[in-house]
Structure 1
Amino acid sequence: MADIVFLAGATGAVGTALIPFLKAAGYTIYGSTRTTEGAKKLENAGISPVVVDVFNASALSDALCKIRPQSVIHQLTDLPRGLDPAQMKQAVVNNARIRNEGTRNLVEAAKAAGSRRLVAQSIAWAYRAGAKPYLETSPLDMEAPEPRSVSVNGVVALERWVLTVPELEGTVLRYGQIYGPGTGADTPAGASPLHVEAAAAAALLALQRSHGGTYNIAEDQAEVSSEKAKRELGWSPSMRQADGA
């Protein structure tokens, strides 16, 4: 029987791009959404929808205990399409809450359901200023002033939840600035750009090949080095859905 995967944030940009990779690899997929509209989208994509709010810890735990996924993939965010500047001040706060409280609830639900692996989305631009390219061992910007501190503290919380739970083999993917279909950005932007399908490919490879830990995931010539992901996961920034992984 195929391994069961619970994909949190299945209707987001990376989640949407990840579904074809997971289906091609033969996984049985359950995807989370908060809305009936999202559920219909997931049904049309050929996966089983789970309507649940990550902030409802008991409902989330109940849902995962019924599904009993071997693996959980965390692609939850709360950001406006195209990172609309007019909405970003509140979005940064909302997103930090997902990274902290939402990740905690997801980890606890995964533990209760007996899951073995957790792969989670983080970001590659929370490093403290220093020598470049940044490696996974480079320090995060823990002393950043507001409003940057809100994002950095959210990242620190997410990564702590994912990487320090003995019951789960936790992998953190520090994504660069994502562009491509469904993201609101058609072309590369930022210091460490990343195509959304390459981000999805990294999640599949982490699910299949990672033994836990942290990986930078960004294009070549980025502000961060992705050599660890290339070496250990076999990842490439040129990966797309048509290529498989």
Structure 2
Amino acid sequence: MTQTIFVAGATGVIGARLLPRLVTLGHRVYGLTRSPAKSPALLSLGVTPVVVDVFHAETLSAAMCAAKPDIVIHQLTDLPRGLDPSQMEEGVRRNARIRAEGTANVVAAVRAAGARLLVAQSIAWAYAPGNEPHTEESPLDHHAQGLRAVSVGGVAALEKAVLEAPGLTGIVLRYGQLYGPGTGEESPAGKKLPLHVDGAAAAVLLAMQANRPGVFNIVESNVIVDTGKAQRELGWRPDGVAVAP
């Protein structure tokens, strides 16, 4: 069934892998970017560009209402290219802002536009220290200090906004540490919570199909977080094979 899908963060590393799949499946796809220079690349994929800054709430809401999406996919991040260590402190703070303020604007726009489903990106390494493997019910690290506190605060705000929005089916995918095309890391070597970027894109498609609200750990095989819920309810495969409808 053809649906209208609005992807926020369309030109990010996951968006770049996800958009061609959505188009191939026959969906009408709108891609949000704040850079006009990225519009031609979106058009070449068969995606309608929407050039709006997510922090401009009224403009975002108007653009989403004009698109009239059935589903909204939130993949917005604001981290330095290649996760440059010299720029990470500022990047973590920007990313926390986009997760908190940006997500609040996305949720408001989704509700105004009447979309029924929102799938949002989170992370699988924000759990508080404790018994492992962590499940989705394990607490986040709300007592973190320093820069980690900033990051966890952004995650908590994003998840609360998505999961508690009235009249909306909210799905949060807690991704592992990405590798693969566009990430700057071609292998999972050294990652405790590895996730190939194509696996992340596949999880979005599985979540759309399952249409089950809640939080899901999306990580390849590991001993730190449990992916049993995603396997049972979404059909997720944690073996690194990107399988999706």
Match of residue 115 from structure 2:
115
CA RMSD of aligned residues (A): 1.2
Match of residue 200 from structure 2:
199
- TM-score, scaled relative to structure 2: 0.96
Q: Distance in 1 between matches of 2:108 and 2:179?
A: 31
Q: Per-residue deviation at 1:24?
A: 2.7
Match of residue 239 from structure 1:
241
Residue correspondence of structure 1 range 6-21 to structure 2 within 5 A: 6-21=6-21
Q: Deviations over 1:154-211 (max 9, x none)?
A: 0000000000012210000000000100111111142111000000000111111132
Please tell me whether residue 91 in structure 1 is matched to residue 88 in structure 2: no
Q: Is the 8 A contact 2:203 2:244 kept in 1?
A: no
Q: Deviations over 1:69-117 (max 9, x none)?
A: 0110000000112211011000000000000000000000000001100
Q: Distance in 1 between matches of 2:96 and 2:110?
A: 20
Match of residue 125 from structure 2:
125
Match of residue 150 from structure 1:
150
Q: Is the 8 A contact 2:30 2:47 kept in 1?
A: yes
Identity of aligned residues (%): 55
Q: Distance in 1 between matches of 2:158 and 2:191?
A: 22
Match of residue 57 from structure 1:
57
Q: Per-residue deviation at 1:23?
A: 1.9
Residue correspondence of structure 1 range 175-190 to structure 2 within 5 A: 175-188=175-188, 189-190=190-191
SS of 2:26's equivalent? coil
Equivalenced residue count is 243
Q: Is the 8 A contact 2:117 2:211 kept in 1?
A: no
Match of residue 226 from structure 1:
227
The amino acid that maps onto 2:23 is K
**Which moves more between the two structures, 227-236 or 102-111?**
227-236
Q: Distance in 2 between matches of 1:142 and 1:113?
A: 33
Match of residue 40 from structure 1:
40
Residue correspondence of structure 1 range 203-214 to structure 2 within 5 A: 203-214=204-215
Match of residue 159 from structure 1:
159
- TM-score, scaled relative to structure 1: 0.96
Q: Per-residue deviation at 1:3?
A: 0.9
- Consecutive unaligned residues in structure 2, runs of 5 or more: none
Q: Per-residue deviation at 1:62?
A: 0.5
Q: Is the 8 A contact 1:180 1:187 kept in 2?
A: yes
Q: Distance in 1 between matches of 2:167 and 2:131?
A: 35
**Which moves more between the two structures, 67-76 or 35-44?**
35-44
Q: Deviations over 1:106-147 (max 9, x none)?
A: 000000001100000000000001111110000100000111
Q: Is the 8 A contact 2:70 2:117 kept in 1?
A: yes
Q: Per-residue deviation at 1:7?
A: 0.2
SS of 1:42's equivalent? helix
Q: Is the 8 A contact 1:21 1:244 kept in 2?
A: no
**Which moves more between the two structures, 19-28 or 127-136?**
19-28
Q: Per-residue deviation at 1:40?
A: 1.2
SS of 2:30's equivalent? strand
Q: Distance in 2 between matches of 1:80 and 1:180?
A: 17
Q: Distance in 2 between matches of 1:233 and 1:98?
A: 27
Residue correspondence of structure 1 range 59-78 to structure 2 within 5 A: 59-78=59-78
Q: Per-residue deviation at 1:228?
A: 0.9
Q: Distance in 1 between matches of 2:126 and 2:142?
A: 9
Q: Is the 8 A contact 1:201 1:239 kept in 2?
A: no
Q: Distance in 2 between matches of 1:181 and 1:244?
A: 18
Please tell me whether residue 216 in structure 1 is matched to residue 217 in structure 2: yes
